[in-house]
Structure 1
Amino acid sequence: MSDDTDTSLAGKAALAAGAAIGSAAIAAALLFVKRRKSRADEKPAHPEQAPETD
């Protein structure tokens, strides 16, 4: 076997695609956590302001 590194265009493209997917996953996780935190800070509606249900 050879010790040559993969310098082909396909190898570089695969590396770039993996980095892009990883970055998108991190960004989505941060947005999800931020959204959950903002919802936790909201106070629930008071019973007198609750929507009427039948």
Structure 2
Amino acid sequence: MSRKPPVPAENQSPYPIEEPPHDPVPDNETVAVVREMAAAKKRRAGPSSRQLGIGAAVGIGSAAIVAGLLFWRGNRKDGK
């Protein structure tokens, strides 16, 4: 049973309330390009584990070089 109250025929809208279903249309060029771009974006979603490993090695190596330069005492002649 419907919860809507009955509407008299003279008060009903002459325009449809819902849009009629559309016939399936083949994809045009724009839709095909957008789908291709979305698929390409999924393929290159993030860095690979190899790239992460190389990045970590470079970061640790550069931190070691900086630490070595900061704490290098040089050729001191004062005996300390």
**What TM bracket, shorter-length normalisation?**
0.5 to 0.7
Partner of 1:46: 77
Q: What SS class does the counterpart of residue 27 from structure 1 fall into? A: helix
TM-score for the superposition, normalised by structure 1? 0.55
Partner of 2:67: 34
Q: Which segments of structure 1 move beyond 3 Å, counting only runs of 4 or more?
A: none
TM-score for the superposition, normalised by structure 2? 0.40
Q: Which amino acid aligns with 2:43?
A: D
Question: Please, which runs of 5 or more residues in structure 2 have no aligned partner?
Answer: 1-32
Question: Please, which runs of 5 or more residues in structure 1 have no aligned partner?
Answer: 50-54
Q: What value does the CA root-mean-square deviation take over the aligned residues?
A: 3.1
Deviations 1:1-54 (A, max 9, x none): 4222128xxx88x71111110111011000000001111xx263328x8xxxxx
Q: Which amino acid aligns with 1:44?
A: N
> Which of the pair is proportionally richer in helix?
1
Q: Percent identity?
A: 10
